[in-house]
């Protein structure tokens, strides 16, 4: 069962053709890592999955991205609902300058949850899921900006979980963090795949190897290889993949 | 032994230092003299009667309460119009407009408007609000004219503070499924509020200090009126009253007292601006 089925996706920024005929199926309730050197299109690909590229001027997209069997680029698709189902965590933690509670409740409030009790419950559950509850339960009304970088990133994950997504997109979400915070987030991701499909862009090969079940290797806008992570790293089917994962370039 | 070149450098350095110090001292002195002079001449004239009555020919007394109120009324009218208009325009330009050339054109127009002398706004205001729209000279036409005059200030200040809101907040909100307006309302505007407030205080300062544009549009009336009456009847603000008492009535003491009141208001507004913007500075530090 796939969360996403991407078929012959082509993408241009103006005249710059950044994704060439990308086709792959992203398995549900697994962690899929997108790897490749900078500028290979992996982040662009990730953002095409929840239409965050709509905000970028001059983007042209061809091909289809099916989420749960529905083309997310079809006319009439409700982007709000799509993004409710496909949450995203960015490279740099972007906690809003409001209280921890309000950060978590931000998404649910958009989607119509108003009752205090319901919100309280959601906030607690999301923070527990993001392994942050014990650290912040006594300071929910304090500003989220007082948290450490790693805590803020877990807060962003909790915030994304609070709207009840099926998929979580992580865009190099640990690259700005210290090793201990990174480890916490990796543990978290490994646990989250029981309930969620996780797609993560990472520059860290060890991380991809540690947490992902599948890996997709991008190079210069081409999807070179997509395979179970173990296989992609140990017996890659393509020379370029072998060179990259063994650290010969990148 | 000091070389000639280095001695010359030392002397020219010392001279420049002295000159810079002298310029600074002259500026401070001039300022202190003006402020001191106005206060010395103005403060004795500030009495309870001056502040709380209107001029009476029968008792031969002068009061500037009507002018204080008119100033307040004009600030109210102008700000009530310009804040929603200016903030919405800036939100549109910063958050919605996708047509780059149009945005540049509007930004250019806004900058140009900032530089136009207020007396020109007065002329246009008189022609438009009084002759074309048929309003009387009064708080309404004056306030609307000044609203147009300070519109660029509000727009450019708001625009600047909206652009200072990190894009990461916008992305974060949109990625949670927020619509554009919801994002603006819950994440962008609250974070730009201090900057917008600073712009508004600056605008109030310009309105309080404005006289030229009001000569044509608000009139010279120095009678005590309620707000609704004042809207459509000739109403002199403090600045216009200053002009009247100084040039037409020859009441220099009153003129200086009005000047003192205006200076105190200006100082208070400056203080408010500083308070708000230093609060802003603190918050920016917090974000780092």
Does the pLDDT value for residue B288 go beyond 70? Answer: no
Q: Give the C-alpha separation, A169 to A43, whole Å.
A: 10
Counting residues of chain B whose pLDDT is more than 70, the rounded percentage is 96
Q: Give the C-alpha separation, A142 to B236, whole Å.
A: 50
pLDDT at B92: 92
> In chain B, which residues have their Cβ closer than 8 Å to the Cβ of A94?
166, 168-169, 171-172
pLDDT at A250: 54
Label the pairing between strands A197-201 and A31-35.
parallel
Confidence band for B281, pLDDT divided at 50, 70 and 90:
low
Q: Which residue, among A43, A84, A92, A107, would best test binding to B if mutated, counting the most B CBs under 10 Å from its CB?
A: A107
Q: Extract the runs of DSSP E, i.e. beta strands, from A111-196.
A: 167-171
> In chain B, which residues have their Cβ closer than 8 Å to the Cβ of A92?
168
Q: What are the residues facing A65 on neighbouring strands?
A: A6
Determine whether the interchain pair B175/A84 forms a contact, defined as Cβ–Cβ distance below 8 Å: no
Count other Cβ atoms within 10 Å, centred on residue A27.
17
Q: Give the C-alpha separation, A106 to A233, whole Å.
A: 40
pLDDT at B282: 63
Task: For residue B190, give the chain A residue with the closest CA.
Answer: A97
Determine whether the interchain pair B178/A97 forms a contact, defined as Cβ–Cβ distance below 8 Å: no
Does the pLDDT value for residue B275 go beyond 60? Answer: yes
For residue A70, the SS3 value is: strand
pLDDT at A160: 94
pLDDT at B221: 83
Average pLDDT, integer, range B22-28: 95
Nearest CA to CA, how far is A235 from chain B (Å)?
36
Burial of B98 by CB count in 10 Å (0-12 exposed, 13-18 middle, 19+ buried)? exposed
Six-digit token string for A71: 């083309």
Q: Please identify among residues 45-74 of chain A the ones whose CB lies closer than 8 Å to any CB of chain B.
A: 50, 52, 55, 57
The verdict on A148 touching B (C-beta cutoff 8 Å) is no
Confidence band for A245, pLDDT divided at 50, 70 and 90:
confident
Q: Measured between CB atoms, which of B178, B190, B286 is closest to A110? A: B178
> In chain B, which residues have their Cβ closer than 8 Å to the Cβ of A79?
177
Q: Give the C-alpha separation, A224 to A220, whole Å.
A: 9
pLDDT at B50: 83
Q: Give the C-alpha separation, A81 to B176, whole Å.
A: 9
Q: Give the C-alpha separation, A172 to B94, whole Å.
A: 28
Q: Measured between CB atoms, which of A52, A92, A111 is closest to B175? A: A52
Does the pLDDT value for residue A230 go beyond 80? Answer: yes
Interface pTM (ipTM) of the complex? 0.88
> Please, are residues B66 and B236 in contact by the beta-carbon 8 Å criterion?
yes
Q: What is the pLDDT of residues A22-71, one digit of tens each?
A: 999 999 999 999 999 988 899 999 999 999 998 888 899 999 999 988 99
Q: How many DSSP H helices and E strands does chain B contain? A: 13, 0
Q: Measured between CB atoms, which of B171, B177, B286 is closest to A94? A: B171
The verdict on B186 touching A (C-beta cutoff 8 Å) is yes
Q: Which of A55, A69, A50 is nearest to A160 (CA)?
A: A50
Give A107 or A181, the one with higher predicted confidence: A107
Q: Give the C-alpha separation, B214 to B224, whole Å.
A: 18
The verdict on B4 touching A (C-beta cutoff 8 Å) is no
Q: Which of A209, A212, A203 is nearest to A177 (CA)?
A: A203
* Element spanning A31, H or E: strand A31-35
The verdict on B22 touching A (C-beta cutoff 8 Å) is no
Q: Which residue, among B96, B161, B176, would best test binding to A if mutated, counting the most A CBs under 10 Å from its CB?
A: B176
Buried b (16+ CB within 10 A) or exposed e, B214-238: bbbbbbebbebbeeeebbebbbbbb
Q: Give the C-alpha separation, A177 to A186, whole Å.
A: 12
Average pLDDT in chain B: 88
Average pLDDT, integer, range B93-107: 87
Determine whether the interchain pair B177/A107 forms a contact, defined as Cβ–Cβ distance below 8 Å: yes
Q: Measured between CB atoms, which of A52, A79, A145 is closest to B171? A: A52
Does the pLDDT value for residue B285 go beyond 60? Answer: no
Lowest mean pLDDT among A43-57, A146-160, B16-30, B50-64: B50-64
Six-digit token string for A1: 């069962």
pLDDT at B223: 83
Q: What is the pLDDT of residues B166-194, one digit of tens each?
A: 999 999 999 999 989 999 999 999 999 88
Please state, in angstroms and as integers, the Cα–Cα distance from residue A143 to each residue in A90, A232, B178, following that order: 20, 43, 21
pLDDT at A198: 95
> Please, are residues B83 and B200 in contact by the beta-carbon 8 Å criterion?
yes
Task: Tell me how far apart the 2 most distant CA atoms of chain A are, in Å.
Answer: 56
The verdict on A159 touching B (C-beta cutoff 8 Å) is yes
> In chain B, which residues have their Cβ closer than 8 Å to the Cβ of A52?
171, 174-175
Nearest CA to CA, how far is A1 from chain B (Å)?
25
> In chain A, which residues have their Cβ closer than 8 Å to the Cβ of B176?
83-84, 87, 106-107, 110, 159-160, 163
Q: Measured between CB atoms, which of B98, B176, B182 is closest to A159? A: B176
């Amino acid at each position: 069962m796939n969360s996403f089925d991407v078929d012959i996706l082509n993408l241009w920024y103006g005249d710059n053709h950044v994704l060439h005929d990308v086709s792959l199926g992203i398995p549900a309730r697994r962690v899929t890592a997108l790897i490749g050197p900078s500028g290979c299109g992996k982040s662009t690909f990730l953002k095409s999955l929840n239409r965050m590229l709509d905000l970028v001027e001059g983007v042209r997209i061809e091909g289809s991205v099916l989420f749960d069997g529905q083309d997310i680029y079809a006319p009439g698709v409700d982007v709000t609902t799509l993004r409710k189902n496909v949450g995203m965590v960015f490279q740099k933690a972007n906690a809003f300058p409001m209280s921890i509670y309000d950060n978590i409740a931000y998404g649910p409030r958009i989607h119509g949850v108003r009752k205090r009790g319901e919100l309280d419950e959601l906030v607690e559950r999301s923070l527990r899921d993001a392994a942050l509850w014990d650290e912040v339960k006594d300071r929910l009304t304090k500003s989220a900006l007082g948290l450490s970088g790693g805590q803020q990133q877990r807060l962003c994950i909790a915030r994304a979980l609070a709207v009840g997504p099926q998929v979580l997109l992580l865009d190099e979400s640990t690259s700005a963090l210290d090793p201990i915070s990174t480890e916490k987030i990796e543990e978290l991701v490994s646990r989250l795949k029981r309930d969620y499909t996780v797609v993560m862009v990472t520059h860290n090969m060890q991380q991809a190897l540690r947490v992902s079940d599948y890996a997709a290797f991008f190079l210069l806008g081409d999807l070179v290889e997509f395979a179970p992570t173990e296989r992609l790293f140990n017996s890659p089917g393509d020379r370029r993949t072998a060179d990259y994962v063994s650290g010969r370039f990148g | 032994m000091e070389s000639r070149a280095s001695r010359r450098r030392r002397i020219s350095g010392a001279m420049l230092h002295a000159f810079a110090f002298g310029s600074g001292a002259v500026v401070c002195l001039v300022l202190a003299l003006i402020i001191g002079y106005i206060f010395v001449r103005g403060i004795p004239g500030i009495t309870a009667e001056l502040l709380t009555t209107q001029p009476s020919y029968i008792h031969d007394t002068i009061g500037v309460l009507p002018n204080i109120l008119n100033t307040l009324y004009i600030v109210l009218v102008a700000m009530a119009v310009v804040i929603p208009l200016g903030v919405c325009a800036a939100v549109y330009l910063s958050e919605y407009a996708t047509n780059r050339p149009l945005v540049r054109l509007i930004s250019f127009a806004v900058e140009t408007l900032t530089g136009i002398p207020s007396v020109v706004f007065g002329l246009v205001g008189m022609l438009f609000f009084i002759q074309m729209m048929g309003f009387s000279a009064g708080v309404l036409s004056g306030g609307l004219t000044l609203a147009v005059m300070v519109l660029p200030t509000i727009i450019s200040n708001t625009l600047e503070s909206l652009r200072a809101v990190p894009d990461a907040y916008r992305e974060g909100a949109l990625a949670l499924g927020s619509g554009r307006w919801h994002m603006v309302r819950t994440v962008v505007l609250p974070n730009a509020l201090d900057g917008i407030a600073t712009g508004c205080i600056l605008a109030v300062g310009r309105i309080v200090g404005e006289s030229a544009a009001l000569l044509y549009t608000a009139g010279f009336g120095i009678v005590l009126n309620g707000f609704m009456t004042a809207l459509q009847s000739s109403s002199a603000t403090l600045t216009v009253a200053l002009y009247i008492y100084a040039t037409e009535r020859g009441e220099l003491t009153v003129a200086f007292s009005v000047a003192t009141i205006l200076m105190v208001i200006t100082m208070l507004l400056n203080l408010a601006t500083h308070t708000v913007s230093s609060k802003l500075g603190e918050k920016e530090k917090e974000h780092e």
